[in-house]
Homo-oligomer: A and B are copies of this chain.
């Protein structure tokens, strides 16, 4: 290995180290931000998770929520009661099966809190002015790759 290679490798290693540090710091702050939002909404972790499922998958039955959250049916009843009392969701009739209860988001309530995200979105956009479009494309590619990897790492961690 010639000296040029050694130098390149050293630089690369340093960059990786700094990237790790930056990623770690960013994760810590992301978690804080998330829990600050939850606190603002007056929601606990379970309730937050439930709203997240509903946002991604649309209306779900109590049974679906039980499976997704890992809670007992009785606990889901309580969970939905709380979310309904706070105005985040509604119980609606299932179109074909009268035994089932569909839980759907109250879009108005969600919009109430969207204000904070718009604030944050403006912040992000402002920060992006320091970056060229190709640079942002690189960032998007990076985030996408990492999201997918971390997703798998989470799953591995949870199951084993």
Residues on A facing B (Cβ under 8 Å): 11-12, 15-16, 18-20, 22-23, 25-37, 39-40, 45, 52, 116, 119-121, 123-125, 127-128, 130-131, 133, 135-147, 149-151, 153-154, 157-158
Kindly provide the distance from the CB of A137 to the nearest chain B CB, expressed in whole angstroms. 6
A contact face: mostly helix, strand, loop, or mixed: helix
Report whether B136 and A135 are in contact in the complex, using a CB–CB cutoff of 8 Å: no
Interface residue from B23, B37, B138, B150 paired with A135 (Cβ < 8 Å): B138
Q: A27-B30, A146-B127 are in contact. Are A15 and B137 (CB under 8 A)?
A: yes
Q: A31-B30, A135-B138, A142-B131 are in contact. Are A154 and B36 (CB under 8 A)?
A: yes
